[in-house]
Amino acid sequence: MAEAVPVVTIDGPSGSGKGTVAAEVARRLGWRVLDSGALYRLTAYAARQAGVDFDDAGAVAAIARALPVEFRDGRVLLDGEDVTAAIRTETAGNDASKVAAIPEVREALLQWQRDYARPPGLVADGRDMGTVVFPDAQVKIFLDASAGERARRRHKQLKEQGIDVNLPGLIAEIEERDHRDRNRSVAPLKPAPDAEVIDSTRMSVEEVVDLVLGRVAKAFPGVVT
Ligand code: DC
């Protein structure tokens, strides 16, 4: 069944730049954006707050099903608390990767993610957007970059926020998270068979955005001006 609403999926490993690219592509098109990683980050954060063990799949899934989340003016509110920065830490990312390996959690978040697809269109960023959540998306991108380059980008981002972490440690963490995301039994990180794989190691954000917009223009004539 074809998607009724135009959907562009951008999947890839941590630090590939997909979040930045997805946000900019959505802005240029005037479409909605789904940051699916935020849902896993929020689930893990809420589970921690509630003292729920990540091994308790049923309890974590119950939290995912009833997340009291609100996205308002670029801020993320969890039960009224501004958690925008709290869910962006490296620990939150690692926690997210752990709860994301729980099949019941993925199931709990599936319909919610699909409901984001509303006119005029959606740019969905994650790990399984093209494979599981929006298998009929008309444009599928898998954005990759070398682990070293991804760690360097993340390092720069953290430094800009005044957070100093050591680069070798960051590379090790990114590799560990990738390994978990690629090897889990449900919805592992991998390109959809019909996705275009882009290696952004030597590309700027603008170059990647232009490339994606080019694919959108081809798939939906008249949409990109
Ligand atoms: O994109 P991100 O770094 O915010 O994602 C955090 C973690 O959430 C990532 O390590 C794996 C998981 N995730 C997922 O399993 N499926 C998605 N669609 C998005 C994120």
**Structural domains of the chain, with CATH:** 2-217 (3.40.50.300)
Q: Average pLDDT for residues 162-191, to the nearest whole number?
A: 91
Q: What is the largest CA-CA distance in the chain?
A: 50
Pocket perturbation via mutation, ligand 1, pick of 18, 20, 36, 144 by most ligand atoms within 8 A of CB: 36
Q: Which residues have a Cβ under 8 Å from the Cβ of 162 and sit 6 or more positions away? A: none
Q: How many CB atoms lie within 10 A of CB 214?
A: 12
CA 164 → CA 17, 91, 150, 167, 177, distances in Å? Answer: 20, 14, 16, 9, 20
CA distance 150 to 169: 13
Q: What is the CA radius of gyration of the chain?
A: 17
Is residue 95 lining ligand 1, measured as CB closer than 6 Å? no
Q: Average pLDDT for residues 128-154, to the nearest whole number?
A: 95
Q: What proportion of the chain, given as a percentage, has pLDDT over 70?
A: 98
* Terminal CA-CA length for the chain: 28
CA of 38 to the centre of ligand 1 (A): 7
> Token pair 């680069």 is at which residue?
167
Q: What is residue 51's three-state secondary structure?
A: coil
CA distance 153 to 66: 34
Q: Average pLDDT for residues 62-85, to the nearest whole number?
A: 93
Pocket perturbation via mutation, ligand 1, pick of 122, 127, 157 by most ligand atoms within 8 A of CB: 127
DSSP state of 64: H
CA of 175 to the centre of ligand 1 (A): 14
CA of 222 to the centre of ligand 1 (A): 32
Give the predicted TM-score (pTM) of the model: 0.93
The band of 215, judged by pLDDT with boundaries at 50, 70 and 90, is: very high
pLDDT score at 143: 97
Give the mean pLDDT of the chain.
93
Q: Average pLDDT for residues 86-97, to the nearest whole number?
A: 92
Q: Give the residue, by CA position, lying nearest to ligand 1 atom 18.
A: 126
- Which comes out higher in pLDDT, residue 167 or 1? 167
Nearest in space to 131 (alpha carbons), one of 12, 6, 39, 32: 12
Q: Give the residue, by CA position, lying nearest to ligand 1 atom 15.
A: 100
Q: Tell me: pLDDT of 163 over 90.
A: no
Q: Give the residue, by CA position, lying nearest to ligand 1 atom 3.
A: 14
